[in-house]
């Protein structure tokens, strides 16, 4: 019998399992609620230019006007007036690990950031609360002209580049939560990769939510100039709290001619978080955009990373894994919008439901008139671990282009009795066997992750599976 090391659990009891719950200590904490004064205060605290303030105020108006989405998960329980829209944990950006305030450092120690950094990280932009407090950039990267910073600093230090792209891919009017994010955004990562530069090591940022009822509205903007390559990794973990938290991020990416961008997410919010994220990338001629998206935590996730294939030869990829346990609803998927001819896209979705959890794949393939000779393929596999759980598949396919090929395949099944029998007849316990099968099921996903993330994911799955089946 292999012994499973005692490890952190996810979403059940962070205090016990993770062993951390850092007391709040804030420099500035805006009042609860949402109104133009709060928005002005946020903008003032950040010493932002006027155009940004105006954009925030306009977005607040749009947010107020837009109705809540009537499809997907039930969001009626979110109380927008009972959320902190801005917190600043320390007033100065740290440039090295040593300079970080000790309690924040302690939190990251538990999460293993420094270790990861010691290994091979180029730059870490770790987000504690709403703003990036720890930030280091590998010398080599800056020499190549790569900008990797938090989004607030980017607005200050690279105003022209910032203004050229900010809010152009996901305008505030896109949806209610994009409008909310644009009104109150804070933190997030900003990456610019110049022409022809390849960033060989993944850039990563750790996120955490740590204050009760605190919304986290980070804003990420990635620009890959012609022929460049970058892999960005975001990983999230949050301690559990008694009242609901809202996480509503916006990620905008531009992948120019011949460039390639990969964006990897391991989302592991505590199970009271509403995770409502808008992620969109534009891919130009012969460019490649890849979303690798893992959703394990949160109470409700609604997230559909999308790629707009703008010019011939563009390629989009979404690889998504969702795990829904008790009380969780993962409504995830992907969108591929074919605008230009000869574009290709694939979406692969793997979902696991257990203990009454619900996973929904929701996808959209759109091929506009003129996006001729395009190809798209969608594959969704769902695993239901018990008869309380639920799985749905809602693929929307709209083809208005000529000579296109479109395929969709989906299966829903349970852990097969034959596989279980095979493993158990070799002396493996039922629970271990099921874990092995589940890990095998999501292998197409894990093999795309950097090693430490793959290990972490396998451990998380193992913990989720423990004692849950049989």
Partner 1 sequence: MPLTLESLDVLQGEPDWLGERRRGALATYERLPNPSKTDEEWRRTDISGLNTAQFSELEHKNGSRLDVSSLPRGVILEPLRVAAEKHAQLVEPLLFSLIKSDRDRFTALHAAFFTGGTFLYVPDGVEIKEPIVAQHASHAGGTAFLPHTLIVAGRGARFHYLDEYIGQDDEPAAYRSGSAEIFVGEGAEVGYVAVQKWGRNAWHFGDQRARLGKDSKLRLFSVTLGGRFSKTRVEGSLVGQGADAELKSIYLASGKQFFDFHTLQDHQVGNTRSDLLFKGALQDTARTVYAGLIRIEKGAARSDAYQANRNLVLSDHAKATSIPMLEIDNNDVRCTHGATVGPVDPQQMFYLRSRGIPEQTAKRMLVQGFFGDVLDRIPFDHARSLIEAELEKRLG
Q: Hey, is 282 helix, strand or coil? A: strand
243 binds partner 1 (CB under 8 A): no
Residue 233 vs 442, nearer CB to partner 1: 442
412 binds partner 1 (CB under 8 A): yes
242 binds partner 1 (CB under 8 A): no
Among 228-236, 277-285, 400-408, 426-434, the segment contacting partner 1 (CB under 8 A): 400-408
Among 13, 37, 61, 409, binds partner 1 (CB under 8 A): 409
Among 35, 142, 168, 405, binds partner 1 (CB under 8 A): 405
403 binds partner 1 (CB under 8 A): yes
Q: What sign does the CA torsion over 201, 235, 30, 107 have? A: negative
Q: What angle do CA 78, 83, 85 make, to 5 degrees?
A: 125
Question: Closest approach of Cβ 198 to partner 1, in Å?
Answer: 35
384 binds partner 1 (CB under 8 A): yes
Q: What sign does the CA torsion over 448, 452, 457, 458 have? A: positive
Among 207-215, 286-294, 341-349, 381-389, the segment contacting partner 1 (CB under 8 A): 381-389
68 binds partner 1 (CB under 8 A): no
Q: How far apart are CA 319 and CA 259, in angstroms?
A: 19
The values of phi and psi at residue 150, to 5°, are -80, 160
Question: Closest approach of Cβ 335 to partner 1, in Å?
Answer: 14
66 binds partner 1 (CB under 8 A): no
Residue 396 vs 422, nearer CB to partner 1: 396
Residue 203 vs 309, nearer CB to partner 1: 309
Residues 265-304 vs partner 1: string with x where CB under 8 A?
Answer: ----------------------------------------
44 token code pair = 């003032």
Residue 231 vs 364, nearer CB to partner 1: 364
Residues near 37 by Cβ (< 8 Å), separated by ≥ 6? none
Residue 70 vs 425, nearer CB to partner 1: 70
- Asked if 232 and 200 count as a contact pair (C-beta separation under 8 A), the reply is no
Among 149-157, 291-299, 398-406, 445-453, the segment contacting partner 1 (CB under 8 A): 398-406
Among 99, 103, 386, 452, binds partner 1 (CB under 8 A): 386
21 token code pair = 């719950």
Among 225-233, 247-255, 293-301, 410-418, the segment contacting partner 1 (CB under 8 A): 410-418
Question: Closest approach of Cβ 402 to partner 1, in Å?
Answer: 4
Q: How far apart are CA 198 and CA 433, in angstroms?
A: 41
Among 172, 186, 242, 245, smallest CA distance to 218 is for 186
Q: How far apart are CA 36 and CA 29, in angstroms?
A: 16
Residue where the block lists tokens 């993770």: 18
Number of residues that bind partner 1 (CB under 8 A): 32
Q: Hey, is 259 helix, strand or coil? A: coil
430 binds partner 1 (CB under 8 A): no
Among 140, 413, 440, 455, binds partner 1 (CB under 8 A): 413
For 171, 182, 197, 398, the CA distances from 140, given in Å and listed in that order, are: 34, 33, 12, 45
469 binds partner 1 (CB under 8 A): no
Residues near 425 by Cβ (< 8 Å), separated by ≥ 6? none
95 binds partner 1 (CB under 8 A): no
129 token code pair = 């609360």
Among 148-156, 165-173, 324-332, 378-386, the segment contacting partner 1 (CB under 8 A): 378-386
Among 414, 440, 451, 455, binds partner 1 (CB under 8 A): 414
- Asked if 24 and 211 count as a contact pair (C-beta separation under 8 A), the reply is yes
What's the burial of 119, exposed, middle or buried (CB within 10 Å: 0-12/13-18/19+)? exposed
Q: Hey, is 217 helix, strand or coil? A: coil
Pick out residues in 331-370 that bind partner 1 (CB under 8 A): 353
Among 112-120, 230-238, 402-410, 440-448, the segment contacting partner 1 (CB under 8 A): 402-410
Render 401-447 in DSSP notation, one character per residue. Answer: SSS-EEEEEEEEE---HHHHHHHHTTT--HHHHHHHHHHHHTHHHHT
98 binds partner 1 (CB under 8 A): no
Among 217, 206, 245, smallest CA distance to 110 is for 206
Residue 355 vs 450, nearer CB to partner 1: 355
Q: Give CA torsion, residues 184, 189, 190, 192, to 10 deg.
A: -160
Residue 145 vs 407, nearer CB to partner 1: 407
382 binds partner 1 (CB under 8 A): yes
Residues near 107 by Cβ (< 8 Å), separated by ≥ 6? 20, 22, 128, 208, 210
419 binds partner 1 (CB under 8 A): no
* Contact footprint for partner 1 (CB under 8 A): 353, 372, 382, 384-387, 389-400, 402-414
């Amino acid at each position: 019998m292999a012994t499973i090391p005692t490890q952190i659990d996810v979403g059940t009891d962070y205090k016990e399992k993770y062993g951390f719950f850092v007391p709040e200590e804030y420099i500035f904490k805006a009042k609860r609620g949402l109104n133009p004064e709060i928005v002005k205060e946020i903008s003032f605290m950040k010493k932002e230019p006027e155009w940004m303030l105006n954009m925030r105020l306009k977005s607040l108006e749009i947010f107020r006007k837009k109705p809540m989405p009537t499809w997907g998960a039930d969001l009626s329980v979110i109380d927008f007036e009972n959320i902190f829209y801005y917190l600043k944990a320390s007033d100065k950006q740290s440039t090295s690990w040593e300079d970080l305030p000790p309690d924040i450092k302690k939190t990251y120690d538990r999460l293993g950031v420094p270790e990861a950094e010691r290994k091979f990280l180029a730059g870490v932009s770790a987000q504690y609360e709403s703003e990036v407090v720890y930030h280091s950039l590998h010398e080599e990267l800056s020499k190549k002209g790569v900008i990797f910073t938090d989004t607030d600093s980017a607005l200050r230090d690279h105003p022209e580049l910032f203004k050229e792209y900010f809010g152009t891919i996901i305008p505030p009017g896109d949806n209610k939560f994009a409008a909310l994010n644009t009104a109150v955004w804070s933190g997030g990562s900003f990456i610019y990769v110049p022409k022809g530069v390849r960033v060989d090591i993944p850039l990563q940022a750790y996120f955490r939510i740590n204050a009760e009822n605190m919304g986290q509205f980070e804003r990420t903007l990635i620009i890959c100039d012609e022929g460049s390559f970058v892999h960005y990794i975001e990983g999230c973990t949050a301690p559990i709290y008694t009242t609901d938290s809202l996480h509503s991020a916006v990620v905008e990416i531009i992948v120019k001619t011949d460039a390639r961008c990969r964006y990897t997410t391991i989302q592991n919010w505590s199970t009271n978080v509403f995770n409502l994220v808008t992620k969109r990338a534009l891919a130009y001629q012969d460019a490649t955009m890849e979303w690798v998206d893992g959703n394990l935590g949160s109470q409700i996730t609604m997230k559909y990373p999308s790629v707009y294939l703008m010019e011939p030869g563009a390629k989009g990829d979404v690889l998504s894994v969702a795990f829904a346990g008790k009380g969780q609803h993962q409504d995830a998927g992907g969108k591929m919008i074919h605008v230009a001819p000869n574009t290709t896209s694939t979406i692969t979705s793997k979902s696991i439901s257990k203990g009454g959890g619900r996973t929904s794949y929701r996808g959209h393939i759109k091929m506009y008139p003129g996006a001729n000779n395009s190809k798209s393929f969608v594959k969704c596999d769902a695993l239901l671990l018990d008869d309380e759980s639920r799985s749905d598949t809602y693929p929307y396919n709209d083809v208005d282009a000529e000579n296109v090929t479109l395929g969709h395949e989906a299966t829903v099944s349970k852990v097969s009795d034959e596989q279980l029998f095979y493993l158990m007849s070799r002396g493996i316990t039922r629970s271990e066997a099921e874990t092995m099968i589940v890990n095998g099921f999501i292998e197409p996903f894990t093999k795309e992750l950097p090693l430490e993330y793959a290990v972490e994911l396998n451990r998380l799955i193992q913990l989720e599976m423990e004692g849950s089946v049989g």
